[in-house]
Amino acid sequence: MDVRRGVERCSGGDGRGIESRHAFSFGAYYDPDNLRFGALIACNEERLAPGAGFDEHPHSHTEIVTWVVEGELTHRDSLGQETVVGPGDVQRLSSAAGVRHVERNAGPEPLTFVQMWLAPLNPGGVPGYEIVRGIADSTPYAVPEAGAMLHVRRLRPGERTALPDAAYVYLHLVRGEVRLAGERLEPGDSARITDARDLEAVGVTAAELLLWEMGA
């Protein structure tokens, strides 16, 4: 298990209301020893001030999954989709052979979201878009194109949750504090676990965590 602290993330931004914090090599930040874990190639914490956002830009050969922490994210893409994503919703943009999109904070309050990129098993294909409203703890979200499954877990203090037994498990703590194999994790911290077996996370406080279950 490799624990990475949120304070160690590489920070970036455009000085116009966007603050980004990267868990993996991304953009101008390059570390040859930190390119990916399993299928996961990015886990970015994004903070957008009201009115700020990412202008239209392209993607290809990437599964892009977004989890809103607070505020509302306005999404528009070249597939003709235009949606507002709120806390508890899971959004996925399958960029496949190529797609363009815009992401903005069109609301009056600050926006915080976690965006996770996964490498597909096979490049190319037809782009697609999906949003699941109010995903429940007991309903994993499958990304078969990347051989991955997202689990959302919300814990009360003292409550336990089992981590998936898998070749690769990536844990990102959204809020609160948890204990995992003797480590205390705080918001923004992550754990990269290889060959996970019989592991549990325990809520120290009320907590919300994202778990990626990935095959070999």
Question: Which residues does the annotation place in the binding site for Fe cation?
Answer: 57, 59, 101, 103
**Element (H or E) spanning 78, and its range?**
none
Provide the Cα torsion 76, 102, 99, 62; round to 10°: -110
CA-CA distance, 183 to 190, in Å (whole number)? Answer: 11
Contact 86/111 with Cβ under 8 angstroms? no
* Cα distance between residue 21 and residue 116, in whole Å: 12
Alpha-carbon span 106 to 123, nearest angstrom: 33
Known binding-site residue numbers? 57, 59, 101, 103
Residues shown for the chain: 216
Phi, psi of 105 (to 5 degrees): -100, 95
